[in-house]
Each structure stands twice: as structure tokens, then as C-alpha cells.
Amino acid sequence: MLLVFAGTLHAAVYKHVNEKGEVVYSDTPAPGAEKLDLPELPTYTPPPVPLIRAQDVPVESDIYRTFDVVKPLNNSTIRNNLGVIELQLRIDPALKVREKHRIQFYLDNERYGPLVDKTAIMMSNIERGEHTLSASVFDGDGNVVAASNSVTVFVKRESVLHKKDRFVPPPADPDNPPPETPVNPGNREFNPNIRTENPNIRTPNPNIISPPPTATPLPSAR
């Protein structure tokens, strides 16, 4: 049996037998085709999923008097080749962790990481360019009870295309080693900068204080 499906769910369906004796279902009527009355298929429309985004305007909270971004500053430039941004919040009173309050951080109005109970995080590998940072406080039921201000930062990362040429020494050739630099220790016997107590070296050792010469007594006159 050959089945042919086309059209939408509400299109008419026709049934006929072709030259090979096969039953064919189609939305196009053929000579001698029979129109089928099909029951309307039930459809399911899922409820819309709320998209949790950063608030465009800070939410005035009756629970937290202060909740804002203190670092980085708005319109600041961050120069970091690893794309690291340290984001710090100020909240007063302290986050009500026992009441299951959690903080959600946002990068460019999209969630960054899971809900946490800390007021500072390190964002890493952020692409160069302009970005917005913000945060919100959620209660145990998933409701936003406070939202911070949004700050704009500009990330600067060094491009490999703009790196200055750096001297890289060529690899060592085992067949042609570089000539050794001759080391001339100098004549230790006459080098005044070398202190030694070797009796075979005639240079006096400045660290040894020689006793003054003993005066030879004169013969007494008789």
C-alpha cells in the first residue's frame, strides 16, 4: 500500500486505486477517487515560556534598599587579553539566603551562569567590544524582587594580527653548535681583584694583615 501525505492537517484527502492495484491517498483528486472524511486532529499549544531577562529599569524593592553594580564603572574600558571582567554588586541589607533569595547575573541582557548567593563573580572569555552588565534578585518562588542598574563596558583584547614582531632565536643546530665564548680568568698571580691565601701565589692577600717588620737592635757601644 502506497501512502502519499501532502498539504496541511485540514486539507482534503482522497483515496483511489492506481493501475498497479495499489491504494493511494492524496490531497489531489484523481478519476474515481473517494473523498475521505477524517476527524479533526487534536492540537496542543504549549504555554509560553517566560523569558527571564535583565530589567531595563531597576526594580524598586521593598526588601532591599540598595542593589546596584559598583564594579566596573559605567562606560569604563577593560583591557584584558583573556576577556576577564570582575563584576561586583552592592546590596543592603545583605542577601536573604535563608529565605532562598538568589542573584542572577546578566551579560548583554542574557543570563550569565546559574543563580548564586554571592555578590561578585569573574566573567571570563568575554569577546572584545561593547557589553552591558546587570543583575537581579529572585525569591524562592522565582519572582524578581530587586534589579540593579545596567552598566556599559568596552572590552579591549589584543589581536594576534596586531602583535609586534618578536625576535625568536633559531633552533640550535646540533651539527653546528655556536662557538663557546672563551673565559679568560686573567692571571691570578697578578690579579689584584682576586684574594687568595695560596702560598704559591706571590700576590699578597689583602685580607691578611702582616705584622710590622721587627727592628734589628743596634750593637751596644762599650
134 in helix, strand or coil?
A: strand
- Give the residue from 61, 65, 84, 87 showing the smallest Cα distance to 74: 87
Mean pLDDT of 59-82: 89
Domain boundaries, the chain: 2-36, 66-156
**CATH number given to 66-156:** 2.60.40.10
In angstroms, the CA 201 to CA 195 distance is 10
- Higher-pLDDT residue of 160 and 156 is 156
Task: Pick the range with the lowest mean pLDDT from 18-32, 112-126, 130-144.
Answer: 18-32
Mean pLDDT of 122-130: 93
- Look at residue 147 in the predicted model and tell me its pLDDT: 94
- Look at residue 30 in the predicted model and tell me its pLDDT: 78
End-to-end CA distance of the chain: 159
Asked if residue 171 lies in contact with residue 90, where contact means CB atoms within 8 angstroms, the answer is no
Burial of 1 (0-12, 13-18, 19+ CB in 10 A): exposed
Residue 83 has pLDDT above 60, yes or no: yes
Mean pLDDT of 112-138: 95
- Look at residue 139 in the predicted model and tell me its pLDDT: 94
Question: At 58, is the pLDDT very low, low, confident or very high (cuts 50, 70, 90)?
Answer: low
Mean pLDDT of 62-87: 93
Residue 21 has pLDDT above 80, yes or no: no
- Look at residue 22 in the predicted model and tell me its pLDDT: 81
Asked if residue 156 lies in contact with residue 79, where contact means CB atoms within 8 angstroms, the answer is yes
Query: What values do phi and psi take at 45, rounded to 5?
Result: -110, 110
- Look at residue 4 in the predicted model and tell me its pLDDT: 44
The mean pLDDT value of the chain amounts to 75
Question: pLDDT tens digits, residue range 177-214?
Answer: 666 655 555 554 555 555 555 555 555 555 555 555 55
Asked if residue 70 lies in contact with residue 88, where contact means CB atoms within 8 angstroms, the answer is yes
Residue 124 has pLDDT above 80, yes or no: yes
- Look at residue 219 in the predicted model and tell me its pLDDT: 62
Q: Which three cell numbers stand for residue 145?
A: 524582587
Q: Is the pTM of this model over 0.85?
A: no
In angstroms, the CA 72 to CA 85 distance is 8
